[in-house]
Amino acid sequence: MKEHFERHKQPWNSEEIQKLHAFAKKGMTLKAISKALTRSEESIKKRAKADKLKIAKKR
């Protein structure tokens, strides 16, 4: 079953973008960031790519 996210198709705000950058720097995985920001993994992938961020792969 797919998880439902309340933030579906919502624009990113500056606080979320800052958190995404911080989480990516810490080396958090896509799944962990997704849970922390309550956004889909797809949304995070797109935003990370747009911001040229590297998201850690699962260990």
Query: Looking at residue 1, what is its pLDDT?
Result: 46
Query: Looking at residue 14, what is its pLDDT?
Result: 96
Give me the helices (H) in 1-59, please: 14-26, 30-37, 41-50
Query: Looking at residue 9, what is its pLDDT?
Result: 74
Residue 18 burial (10 A CB sphere; 0-12, 13-18, 19+): exposed
**Binned average pLDDT, 10 residues per bin, the chain of 59 residues:** 61 96 97 94 95 87
Looking at residue 52, the DSSP 8-state letter turns out to be: T
Work out the angle at residue 55's Cα, subtended by the Cα atoms of residues 50 and 56, and round it to the nearest 5 degrees: 170
